[in-house]
Chain A
Amino acid sequence: GDSVTQTEGLVTVTEGLPVMLNCTYQTAYSDVAFFWYVQYLNEAPKLLLRSSTDNKRTEHQGFHATLHKSSSSFHLQKSSVQLSDSALYYCALRSNMGYKLTFGTGTSLLVDP
């Protein structure tokens, strides 16, 4: 079945510095979409950005990610983090079967002043 791996449980970054959250995946399907969800404290997860196109950069709210099928990765990056970026970030994929999202274990991003 599909699987998503997020290796970092917690990432701590100083405000104004860049960050990259890692995401790799395994899937047997060719028609697959990839997502990053963000969950602020005591809130619901919500979509941050999504992509299904290989080697195309996708951006939203200052974050960007590029799907690389050659390395099975969809890392999330930001060039200058803000205190308000502190949250739990989930990488997920949805195959052409389309019935569910498969999530990684999540990475907590903590931005220090």
Chain B
Amino acid sequence: EAAVTQSPRNKVAVTGGKVTLSCNQTNNHNNMYWYRQDTGHGLRLIHYSYGAGSTEKGDIPDGYKASRPSQENFSLILELATPSQTSVYFCASGEQGSGNTLYFGEGSRLIVV
């Protein structure tokens, strides 16, 4: 079974503070992704990566940065957190190719007050 783990699982942050969400995968997948989940919007892609050292903007990258220091790790960084970034964030990994599925972590619930 593919394994994607996220930390922290729950986080309360203050407006203007810095937040880092971490993701580790043991699948040896090249591609990793950060999505946020909001009612009425579904899962929306923030950033993704093709491999160590690469990060690409997804559909809603504003206010977020990403870092991929190794094959296994992919972080999402909120330099100046805002209440609109209150959400559940999911990390996923997968291989290139249209037929390949993504494997999701358990999610990180972030509340910005």
Contact = CB atoms under 8 A, between A and B. Distances in A.
B43 A100 contact: no
Interface string B40-53: 11111100101000
A46 B96 contact: no
Interface residues of B, number: 26
A103 B42 contact: yes
A113 to B, nearest CB: 25
B54 to A, nearest CB: 11
Interface of A is mostly: loop
Interface stretch (A31-39, A55-63, A64-72, A77-85): A31-39
Contact of B99 (A33, A44, A97): A33
Given A32-B98, A105-B41, A99 B104 contact: no
Given A44-B107, A99-B48, A105 B101 contact: no
A33 to B, nearest CB: 4
A105 B98 contact: no
A45 B98 contact: no
Contact of B42 (A96, A99, A105): A105
Given A99-B31, A100-B48, A43 B100 contact: no
B33 interface: yes
A52 B100 CA distance: 11
Interface in B64-113: 90, 96-102, 104-107
B50 A106 contact: no
A90 B40 contact: no
B58 interface: yes
Contacts of A32: 98
A103 B98 contact: no
Contacts of B43: 45, 90, 101, 103, 106
Interface of B: 4, 31, 33, 35, 40-45, 48, 50, 56, 58, 90, 96-102, 104-107
Give the top 9 A-B pairs by smallest Cβ distance, nearest first.
A44-B104, A105-B42, A103-B43, A33-B98, A33-B99, A47-B101, A103-B42, A106-B42, A98-B96
